[in-house]
């Protein structure tokens, strides 16, 4: 179950990176409002760097058998905060879910959040052993 | 008369009961004062400054003094205003979680490390957002905003360093 959850997290991270690559290369991604155009680019850019940094850090710590519970806990908290921000505020500004990769990100996001939260709790258990 | 308390295999002996009752609880309420008594003066002062900043923010918000300095006042976007409100609510929840961690003296280092990284996210995304959307003559607003968030981040980092120093000095 732990490995399956980690796989879901990696899959979601890949989707976010793919979506970001498409946003900066493909002109067909248009946000719901004009004012949201820069907001989409800014937020996606910040988030994709967090995803890349998180993936690198987690992979490095796992490969070197270092405790990674705090890293996963930080990433989980930030992921939930981003979700809350999007859900409560940015939904009407940002969403570009008509595109298939964007739909895939929106669809898998709740599954990713549950999987990441599970990994965070499990990682504490593993590190405390 | 013979004492049968230790003959029953199910009933714990007096030594076992004493050991159970004397072992420290993993998660027990101690109060902030008791928690502070074990910590350095710098830790206490940093926490007090953090509380003071929170209170000053609340006073500034409810009196309307802060509104002209907010991103939404310049950009006019409703999303900026709402984002600010959501972020303050989240920050307030994090302060509450930090206070609970202090009260129970439970994973303080990890709690404040998580809070500091979230604050770093707020700093990078907030300042980046303001930098891109603010007009040129509003640079001072962006700098004040960045300085405010940076001050909170520095206070959190100080708390983490002090807590790690305390942990490393314990036998």
| Closest-CA residue of chain A to B123 | A46
Residue bearing the bigger pLDDT, B135 or B40: B40
Asked if the C-beta of A17 comes within 8 angstroms of chain B's C-beta atoms, the answer is no
Residue A8 has pLDDT above 60, yes or no: yes
Report yes or no on B15 lying in a domain.
no
The whole-number pLDDT of residue A47 equals 80
The whole-number pLDDT of residue B155 equals 93
Nearest CB to B128; choose among A42, A50, A85: A42
Q: Exposure string (b/e) for B27-51, b if CB count within 10 Å is 16 or more? A: eeeeeeeebeeebeeebbebbeebe
Residue A27 has pLDDT above 80, yes or no: no
Q: Which domain holds residue B143?
A: 27-169
Report yes or no on B2 lying in a domain.
no
Q: Hey, which residues 92-131 in chain B have their CB within 8 Å of chain A?
A: 110, 113-114, 117-118, 121, 124-125, 128-129
The whole-number pLDDT of residue B27 equals 54
Q: What is the pLDDT of residues A41-78, one digit of tens each?
A: 667 777 888 888 888 888 888 888 888 888 888 999 98
Report yes or no on B6 lying in a domain.
no
| Closest-CA residue of chain B to A74 | B114
Average pLDDT over chain A reads 79
- Phi and psi (nearest 5°) for B30? -125, -20
Alpha-carbon span B115 to B9, nearest angstrom: 48
The whole-number pLDDT of residue B7 equals 59
Q: What is the pLDDT of residues B8-58, one digit of tens each?
A: 666 777 777 776 665 555 556 667 777 778 888 888 899 899 989 888 888
Report yes or no on B16 lying in a domain.
no
| Mean of pLDDT values over B137-163 | 86
Report yes or no on B14 lying in a domain.
no
What are the residues whose beta carbons fall under 8 Å from the beta carbon of B86, sequence distance 6 or more? A84, A85, A88, A89
How many domains would you assign to chain B? 1
Nearest CB to A89; choose among B86, B110, B128: B86
Report yes or no on B147 lying in a domain.
yes
pLDDT band at B153 (very low <50, low <70, confident <90, very high): very high
Residue B6 has pLDDT above 60, yes or no: no
Asked if the C-beta of A89 comes within 8 angstroms of chain B's C-beta atoms, the answer is yes
Crossing angle (nearest 10°) for helices B108-133 and B139-169: 170
End-to-end Cα, chain B, rounded Å: 47
Asked if the C-beta of B133 comes within 8 angstroms of chain A's C-beta atoms, the answer is yes
Q: Assess contact for A70 and A77: CB atoms under 8 A.
A: no
Q: Assess contact for B141 and B130: CB atoms under 8 A.
A: yes
Q: How many angstroms separate the CA of residue B41 from the nearest CA in chain A?
A: 26
Q: What is the pLDDT of residues B53-100, one digit of tens each?
A: 888 888 888 888 877 777 777 777 777 788 888 888 888 888 888 888
Q: Which of B158, B169, B154, B163 is nearest to B39 (CA)?
A: B163
| Mean of pLDDT values over B101-121 | 88
Residue A29 has pLDDT above 60, yes or no: no
Q: Assess contact for B87 and B127: CB atoms under 8 A.
A: no
Report yes or no on B81 lying in a domain.
yes
Residue B4 has pLDDT above 80, yes or no: no
Report yes or no on B155 lying in a domain.
yes
């Amino acid at each position: 179950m732990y490995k399956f959850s980690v796989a879901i997290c990696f899959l979601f991270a890949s989707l976010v990176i793919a979506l970001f690559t498409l946003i900066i290369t493909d002109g067909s991604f248009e946000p719901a409002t004009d004012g949201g155009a820069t907001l989409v680019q800014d937020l996606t850019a910040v988030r994709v760097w967090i995803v890349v940094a998180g993936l690198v850090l987690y992979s490095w710590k796992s490969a070197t058998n270092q405790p990674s519970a705090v890293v996963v806990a930080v990433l989980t908290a930030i992921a939930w905060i981003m979700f809350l921000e999007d859900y409560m505020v940015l939904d009407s500004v940002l969403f570009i879910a008509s595109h298939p990769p964007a739909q895939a990100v929106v669809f898998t996001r709740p599954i990713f959040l549950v999987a990441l939260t599970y990994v965070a709790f499990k990682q504490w258990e593993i590190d405390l052993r | 008369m013979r004492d049968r308390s230790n003959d029953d295999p199910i009933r714990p002996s007096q030594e076992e009961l004493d050991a159970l009752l004397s072992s420290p609880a993993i998660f027990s309420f101690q109060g902030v004062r008791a928690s502070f008594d074990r910590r350095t003066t710098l830790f206490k002062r940093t926490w007090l400054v953090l509380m003071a900043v929170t209170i000053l923010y609340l006073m500034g918000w409810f009196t309307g003094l802060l509104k002209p300095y907010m991103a939404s006042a310049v950009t006019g976007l409703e999303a900026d205003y709402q984002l600010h409100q959501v972020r303050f609510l989240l920050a307030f929840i994090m302060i509450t979680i930090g206070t609970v961690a202090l009260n129970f003296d439970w994973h303080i280092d990890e709690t404040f490390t998580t809070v500091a990284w979230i604050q770093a996210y707020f700093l990078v995304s907030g300042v980046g957002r303001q930098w891109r959307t603010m007009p040129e003559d509003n640079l001072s607003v962006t700098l004040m905003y960045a300085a405010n968030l940076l001050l909170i981040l520095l206070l959190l980092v100080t708390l983490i360093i002090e807590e790690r120093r305390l942990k490393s000095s314990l036998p």
